[in-house]
Amino acid sequence: MGRRLMPLTGPGPAARRTGGDDGLTLIELITAMSVTAVFLAISTTAFLQLYSSANSTQAVSSAQSQVNTAFQRLDADVRYATEISTPGKVGSDWYVEYAGGVSGAPTCTELRLTAGGQLQRRTWPQGSSPPQTFPALATGAQAGAGGPFTVLAPGGSTNAQRLELSLTVPASTGRSVASRQIDVAFTAVNSASGGPKVTTCVSQGRG
């Protein structure tokens, strides 16, 4: 008899593994989650740093703007002053006045630094009642160690009085806080030639 040939058979269904349907093991899943968590942490840190930097830049810009506004206004004011008063305190607020005027009737101008940190300025014609409102030049201002206002007597290369302003003006945006220092002397050029006296301004203003 001839040899009987047996049919060729492959492994049964139980022995086969269908490719692509195996899924992930627990270790692979944990590894993927860990890598994702690290990536998110790095991305979040970078985003927060950029946000903080933007806030800081905005805060510095705001503080610088306040300083520039106060400087320009006071420089134009004090330049035409004929006399500056002796600074003083009324309660917890600092005051200084100066008399003068570019044209027309002599005027009084008064600066006040409040306990709440507002640098304020008001002006009125000499001999009339001062306005009740006190517009702010800067907010959050802090006085220097020797006070916010100092009047320097004529001397040296100038025969005119000078008003020295010493303030720190902070500005904040969110958690960022920046500040700008005002420490400058304004020269009252007209004080060398005399003119309207400041006594009336003091009595009408802080009085």
* H or E, element range at 88: strand 88-90
Q: What is the pLDDT of residue 99?
A: 92
Strands 81-84 and 107-113: unpaired
Model confidence, pTM: 0.67
Residue 5 domain-assigned?
Answer: no
The domain tally of the chain equals 1
Residue 50 domain-assigned?
Answer: yes
Cα 164 to its chain centre, rounded Å, is: 21
Q: What is the pLDDT of residue 40?
A: 85
Instruction: Give the structural domain span for 100.
Output: 42-204
Q: Residue 161: phi, psi to the nearest 5?
A: -70, 155
Residue 9 domain-assigned?
Answer: no
Bridge partners (DSSP) of residue 98 are 84, 109
Residue 12 domain-assigned?
Answer: no
Residue 136 domain-assigned?
Answer: yes
* H or E, element range at 41: helix 26-79
Bridge partners (DSSP) of residue 120 are 112, 136
pLDDT along the chain (207 residues), means of 10: 56 52 76 86 79 62 67 83 92 93 78 92 91 88 87 80 85 59 85 81 87
Percent composition of the chain: helix, strand, coil (DSSP 3-state, to 5): 30, 30, 40
Residue 197 domain-assigned?
Answer: yes
Residue 22 domain-assigned?
Answer: no
